[in-house]
């Protein structure tokens, strides 16, 4: 295991994306890596105290919200971030796992392709979304948030699963193309705005439903137990048997967009 301990809070935000190649680098090469911080470049060993030999697993200690792009475009990564992570956590991640013990900032898991991102705290806006101007958000893998998520969760998401144990902000699953967003807590305004396809799975009735969603009634869906079973390995309330249900009220929409999406709300007593 490689331990990277942040020596002090950086003055500027730090772009850690060069670190995603670390599994293929030696410890000396990692120490010499140059990363951008504001308008300057810094050597990794200027920012971090580096210990350990095994570069396939790393722990970032004393982390804070100025550390951006952790695990960006990475493959077969195994990262634990002790503390907070900055923006673009696991952006474009292809495989492996990233766990953050604190909070993550904007655009966590955006455009990710595979793997697992677990955020034990809260996530910022645009979780699993597309970058501004891009047309495809997250397209594979799982993002698990144990706290709350911000606005525009899953914006233009194409495939994969976003799980939020807490609340989600406004425009949850907006313009979503496909995939599944599941929220155990409350959801904000404009839920499923522009939803094309895909599933929004809710444990609680939303405060308001867009008029462009049609009530399709209560149903027992056979696929839900299978879907829950696929989450059984997660360290999450989603893996608990008491969280499993298959009786839902189904709303189809957004009929102002493609309209093939669905919002499934756990039926009372299910």
Partner 1 sequence: MEINGVHIDETFAEAFPMKGTRALITAQNLEWAYHSARAMTGFATSVIACGCEAGIERELSPEETPDGRPGVSVLFFAMGGKALAKQVETRAGQCVLTSPTSALFAGIEEGKPVPLGKNLRFFGDGFQISKKIGGKRYWRVPVMDGEFLTEEFTYQVGAVGGGNFLILAESQPQALAACEAAVAAMKQVPNVIMPFPGGVVRSGSKVGSKYKALNASTNDAFCPTLKGVTKSQLSPEIESVMEIVIDGLTEEDIRRAMRAGIEAACALGAKNGIRRISAGNYGGKLGPFHFHLREIMA
List interacting residues with partner 1 (CB under 8 A).
Answer: 159, 178, 180, 197, 199, 219-223, 225-227, 229-230, 260, 262
Contact between 186 and 202 (Cβ < 8 Å): no
Q: Which is nearer to partner 1, 106 or 161 (CB)?
A: 161
Contact between 50 and 43 (Cβ < 8 Å): no
Contact between 270 and 250 (Cβ < 8 Å): no
Q: Which is nearer to partner 1, 31 or 178 (CB)?
A: 178
Q: Tell the smallest beta-carbon distance from residue 265 to partner 1 (Å).
A: 17
Q: Alpha-carbon distance 213 to 187, whole Å?
A: 16
Q: Tell the smallest beta-carbon distance from residue 230 to partner 1 (Å).
A: 4
Q: Which is nearer to partner 1, 22 or 116 (CB)?
A: 116
Beta strand 159-164 pairing with 14-15? unpaired
Q: Alpha-carbon distance 251 to 255, whole Å?
A: 10
Q: Tell the smallest beta-carbon distance from residue 65 to partner 1 (Å).
A: 33
Q: Which is nearer to partner 1, 18 or 214 (CB)?
A: 214
**Sequence-ordered list of residues with C-beta below 8 angstroms from that of 109, at least 6 positions apart, any chain:** 89, 90, 91, 93, 117, 127, 128, 138, 141, 143, 162
Q: Tell the smallest beta-carbon distance from residue 20 to partner 1 (Å).
A: 24
DSSP H helical ranges for 4-154: 27-32, 44-47
Q: Which is nearer to partner 1, 21 or 114 (CB)?
A: 114
Provide the token pair at 68.
């951006």
Q: Which is nearer to partner 1, 66 or 249 (CB)?
A: 249
Q: Alpha-carbon distance 54 to 19, whole Å?
A: 14
Q: Tell the smallest beta-carbon distance from residue 52 to partner 1 (Å).
A: 32
Q: Tell the smallest beta-carbon distance from residue 258 to partner 1 (Å).
A: 10
| H or E element at residue 247 | strand 247-253
């Amino acid at each position: 295991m490689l331990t990277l301990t942040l020596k002090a809070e950086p003055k500027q935000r730090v772009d850690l994306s060069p670190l995603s190649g670390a599994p293929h680098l030696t410890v000396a090469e990692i120490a010499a890596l140059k990363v951008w911080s504001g308008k300057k470049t810094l050597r990794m060993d200027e920012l971090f105290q580096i210990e350990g030999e095994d570069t396939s697993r790393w722990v970032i200690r004393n982390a804070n919200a100025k550390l951006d792009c952790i695990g960006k475009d990475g493959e077969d990564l195994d990262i634990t971030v002790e503390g907070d992570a900055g923006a673009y956590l696991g952006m474009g991640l292809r495989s492996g796992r990233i766990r953050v013990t604190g909070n993550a900032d904007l655009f966590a898991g955006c455009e990710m392709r595979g793997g697992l991102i677990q955020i034990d705290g809260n996530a910022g806006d645009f979780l699993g979304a597309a970058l501004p101007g891009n047309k495809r958000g997250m397209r594979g893998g799982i993002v698990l948030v144990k706290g709350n998520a911000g606005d525009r969760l899953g914006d233009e998401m194409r495939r994969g699963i976003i799980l939020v144990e807490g609340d989600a902000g406004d425009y949850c699953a907006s313009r979503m193309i496909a995939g599944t967003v599941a929220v155990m807590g409350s959801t904000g305004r404009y839920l499923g705005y522009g939803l094309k396809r895909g599933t929004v799975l809710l444990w609680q009735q939303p405060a308001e439903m867009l008029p462009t969603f049609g009530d399709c009634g209560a149903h027992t869906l056979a696929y839900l137990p299978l879907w829950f079973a696929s989450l059984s390995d997660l360290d999450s309330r989603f893996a608990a048997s008491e969280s499993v249900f298959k009786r839902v009220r189904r709303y189809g929409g957004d009929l102002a967009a493609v309209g093939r999406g669905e919002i499934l709300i756990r039926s009372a007593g299910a």
